[in-house]
Amino acid sequence: MATDMLTFMQFMRATLLPLPGVTEKMHFEDPAFYVNKKIMANVKLKDELVALHTLEREKWMAADSHTFFITDHYRNYKYMLVRLETVSPDDLKELLITAWRNRATQKLIGEYEER
């Protein structure tokens, strides 16, 4: 994935904002994406990382521990850090949509599937 943060943010917005119920707002000093007032993706601008909600982080970290990892801060949470310079756009898109599905209501998921 491009490490140009403007390009990356355009990709994030193009992927997430069309999904039902998604909003973008600042989380401390970084942009974050929410559904149902629950954070699903938090961009770490200065570190060129994104923290994503996931129920499968062990699978991703086993496949590529350089790109997908956690720090002690995330150990007890269902989030994983993703290194933007090495993640593929296809993997990132899959992770973003899965993060949305994990946090969205059945009603919102139904709206998405009807499209």
Average pLDDT over residues 7-32: 96
Residues 6+ apart with CB under 8 A from 105: 21, 36
pLDDT band at 3 (very low <50, low <70, confident <90, very high): low
| Average pLDDT rounded to a whole number, residues 66-83 | 97
pLDDT at 1 over 80: no
Q: What is the mean pLDDT of the chain?
A: 95
**Average of per-residue pLDDT across 36-47:** 94
| Confidence at residue 35, expressed as pLDDT on a 0 to 100 scale | 97
**pLDDT at residue 5 in the model:** 87
pLDDT-derived band at 28 (thresholds 50, 70, 90) equals very high
The answer on pLDDT for 2 being more than 60 is: no
Phi, psi for 36 (deg, rounded to 5): 55, 35
Long-range contacts of 45-50 (CB under 8 A, 24+ apart): 45/5, 48/3, 48/5, 48/8, 48/83, 48/84, 48/85, 49/81, 49/82, 49/83, 49/84, 50/12, 50/81, 50/82, 50/84, 50/92
Calculate mean pLDDT across residues 55-80.
97
CATH number of 5-114: 3.90.1150.30
